[in-house]
Structure 1
């Protein structure tokens, strides 16, 4: 799933893919904002993204649905 995070006062967004579910990512964001602690996410290549809760501007969380590729018989 693709994640895009906007950071306050920064023009570029942080975009990455993760194997976590949309619900897990949303829960981590909500916990970070509620506790005023850093948001800590890991992408599917093992890189960690740590964003201070005060700097979080927005987050776009992709859907969990996978789109089949190829040709199907009707």
Structure 2
């Protein structure tokens, strides 16, 4: 699942793939009203984001990408 997070006063967004479900990501962001949100991507990298600095969170779909030709 792809997750994109907008950060206050930053021209770039944090974008990564994770094995967590959309509900897990949503609960994690909402539960941390203040403080640090800890996220892990599919490569094992850890991201610590100050909750107060988050402007938006875009959570992708769980659907796998289709490969091949459509007839």
Return the TM-score normalized by structure 1: 0.85
Q: Which has the higher helix share?
A: 1
- In the other structure, the counterpart of 1:56 is 54
Does residue 15 in structure 1 map to residue 15 in structure 2? yes
**Deviation of the 1:58 alpha carbon:** 0.6
Runs of 4+ in 1 over 4 A off after TM superposition: none
Q: Which has the higher strand share?
A: 2
For each residue in 1:44-70, what CA deviation from the matched residue of structure 2 results, as whole angstroms up to 9, or x when unmatched? 000001001111111100011224423
Unaligned runs of 5+ in 1: none
Q: Considering only CA atoms, is the larger Rg found in Structure 1 or Structure 2?
A: 1
Secondary structure at 1:39 match in 2:
strand
RMSD: 1.5
- In the other structure, the counterpart of 2:28 is 28
Equivalences, count: 71
Secondary structure at 1:54 match in 2:
helix
